[in-house]
Amino acid sequence: MDKVVKPETVLTFDDEVLAKIAGKTATSVDGVLSLEGNIFEKVTDRISKGDDPTAGVNVDIDNEEQTVQLKMDALLEYGKNAQAIFDKMVTKITAAVKEMTNMEVAEIKLNVKDVLTRDEWANREKDHKKHEDKKK
Protein backbone atom coordinates (compact mmCIF):
# COMPACT_ATOMS: atom_id res chain seq x y z
CA MET A 1 0.00 0.00 0.00
CA ASP A 2 1.40 3.39 -1.02
CA LYS A 3 1.91 5.94 1.69
CA VAL A 4 0.09 9.22 0.99
CA VAL A 5 2.20 12.24 1.84
CA LYS A 6 0.43 15.51 2.47
CA PRO A 7 2.42 18.57 1.50
CA GLU A 8 3.22 21.18 4.09
CA THR A 9 1.29 24.30 3.18
CA VAL A 10 1.69 27.93 4.16
CA LEU A 11 -0.60 30.77 3.09
CA THR A 12 0.53 34.33 3.81
CA PHE A 13 -0.66 37.79 2.77
CA ASP A 14 1.25 40.98 1.99
CA ASP A 15 0.39 43.95 4.19
CA GLU A 16 -1.02 45.68 1.10
CA VAL A 17 -3.65 42.97 0.67
CA LEU A 18 -4.95 43.47 4.21
CA ALA A 19 -4.74 47.25 3.79
CA LYS A 20 -6.78 47.03 0.58
CA ILE A 21 -9.46 44.86 2.21
CA ALA A 22 -9.69 47.22 5.19
CA GLY A 23 -9.58 50.36 3.03
CA LYS A 24 -12.23 49.29 0.53
CA THR A 25 -14.47 48.03 3.32
CA ALA A 26 -14.04 51.14 5.49
CA THR A 27 -14.85 53.55 2.68
CA SER A 28 -18.06 51.61 1.94
CA VAL A 29 -19.40 52.60 5.38
CA ASP A 30 -21.84 55.52 5.36
CA GLY A 31 -20.20 58.53 7.00
CA VAL A 32 -16.64 57.69 5.92
CA LEU A 33 -15.61 60.22 3.27
CA SER A 34 -12.09 58.85 2.76
CA LEU A 35 -9.06 57.35 4.39
CA GLU A 36 -6.11 59.70 4.45
CA GLY A 37 -2.47 58.74 4.37
CA ASN A 38 0.54 60.58 5.70
CA ILE A 39 2.38 63.27 3.71
CA PHE A 40 4.58 60.71 1.90
CA GLU A 41 1.49 58.76 0.80
CA LYS A 42 -0.18 61.96 -0.45
CA VAL A 43 2.85 62.75 -2.61
CA THR A 44 2.76 59.19 -3.96
CA ASP A 45 -0.98 59.56 -4.68
CA ARG A 46 -0.28 62.60 -6.82
CA ILE A 47 2.20 60.60 -8.88
CA SER A 48 0.01 57.51 -9.27
CA LYS A 49 -3.32 57.45 -11.06
CA GLY A 50 -6.59 56.61 -9.35
CA ASP A 51 -7.57 56.15 -5.75
CA ASP A 52 -5.35 53.98 -3.62
CA PRO A 53 -7.51 51.87 -1.27
CA THR A 54 -4.46 51.22 0.92
CA ALA A 55 -3.83 54.92 1.69
CA GLY A 56 -4.44 55.75 5.32
CA VAL A 57 -4.22 52.11 6.46
CA ASN A 58 -1.27 50.71 8.40
CA VAL A 59 -1.13 46.95 8.88
CA ASP A 60 0.71 44.70 11.33
CA ILE A 61 0.31 40.98 10.56
CA ASP A 62 1.16 38.15 12.93
CA ASN A 63 1.33 35.15 10.59
CA GLU A 64 1.94 32.66 13.41
CA GLU A 65 -1.16 33.75 15.31
CA GLN A 66 -3.10 34.51 12.10
CA THR A 67 -4.07 37.95 13.41
CA VAL A 68 -3.88 41.46 12.04
CA GLN A 69 -3.77 44.88 13.66
CA LEU A 70 -5.01 47.90 11.69
CA LYS A 71 -4.47 51.61 12.19
CA MET A 72 -6.41 54.03 9.98
CA ASP A 73 -6.74 57.76 9.46
CA ALA A 74 -10.09 58.94 8.11
CA LEU A 75 -12.19 61.92 7.12
CA LEU A 76 -15.72 61.54 8.42
CA GLU A 77 -18.93 63.24 7.44
CA TYR A 78 -19.80 66.23 9.64
CA GLY A 79 -22.91 65.76 11.75
CA LYS A 80 -22.73 61.96 11.88
CA ASN A 81 -21.94 59.98 15.02
CA ALA A 82 -18.25 59.03 14.88
CA GLN A 83 -18.65 56.14 17.36
CA ALA A 84 -21.50 54.63 15.32
CA ILE A 85 -19.44 54.95 12.12
CA PHE A 86 -16.43 53.35 13.83
CA ASP A 87 -18.53 50.50 15.24
CA LYS A 88 -19.92 49.74 11.76
CA MET A 89 -16.39 49.90 10.28
CA VAL A 90 -15.10 47.44 12.89
CA THR A 91 -17.94 45.00 12.23
CA LYS A 92 -17.58 45.15 8.44
CA ILE A 93 -13.76 45.08 8.36
CA THR A 94 -13.57 42.18 10.84
CA ALA A 95 -16.04 40.17 8.75
CA ALA A 96 -14.35 41.00 5.43
CA VAL A 97 -10.85 40.12 6.69
CA LYS A 98 -12.12 36.84 8.18
CA GLU A 99 -14.05 35.93 5.01
CA MET A 100 -11.22 36.69 2.58
CA THR A 101 -8.14 35.63 4.55
CA ASN A 102 -9.33 33.50 7.49
CA MET A 103 -7.36 35.85 9.75
CA GLU A 104 -8.73 37.43 12.91
CA VAL A 105 -8.60 41.18 13.45
CA ALA A 106 -6.96 41.67 16.85
CA GLU A 107 -7.11 45.48 16.89
CA ILE A 108 -8.50 48.40 14.90
CA LYS A 109 -7.50 51.96 15.72
CA LEU A 110 -9.12 54.88 13.92
CA ASN A 111 -7.78 58.42 14.01
CA VAL A 112 -10.32 60.97 12.75
CA LYS A 113 -8.27 63.61 10.91
CA ASP A 114 -11.20 65.88 10.01
CA VAL A 115 -14.97 66.12 9.66
CA LEU A 116 -16.43 67.68 6.52
CA THR A 117 -19.91 68.26 5.18
CA ARG A 118 -20.77 66.54 1.88
CA ASP A 119 -20.51 69.96 0.14
CA GLU A 120 -17.08 70.67 1.65
CA TRP A 121 -15.94 67.21 0.62
CA ALA A 122 -17.27 67.62 -2.94
CA ASN A 123 -15.54 71.01 -3.29
CA ARG A 124 -12.28 69.63 -1.94
CA GLU A 125 -12.39 66.71 -4.39
CA LYS A 126 -13.24 69.07 -7.27
CA ASP A 127 -10.28 71.32 -6.37
CA HIS A 128 -8.01 68.27 -6.10
CA LYS A 129 -9.13 67.05 -9.53
CA LYS A 130 -8.52 70.50 -11.08
CA HIS A 131 -5.04 70.48 -9.58
CA GLU A 132 -4.38 67.01 -11.01
CA ASP A 133 -5.69 67.98 -14.47
CA LYS A 134 -3.34 71.00 -14.58
CA LYS A 135 -0.36 68.71 -13.97
CA LYS A 136 -1.16 66.53 -16.98
pLDDT over threshold 90, residue 109 = yes
135 pLDDT band, cuts 50/70/90, is low
CATH of residue 124: 3.30.70.1350
44: domain range?
15-131
Q: What is the sign of the dihedral through the CA atoms of 25, 26, 31 and 36?
A: negative
Number of compact structural domains in the chain: 1
pLDDT over threshold 90, residue 61 = yes
Asked if the structure places residue 87 within a domain, the reply is: yes
40 and 78 Cβ atoms separated by less than 8 Å:
no
The predicted model scores a pTM of 0.80
55 and 45 Cβ atoms separated by less than 8 Å:
yes
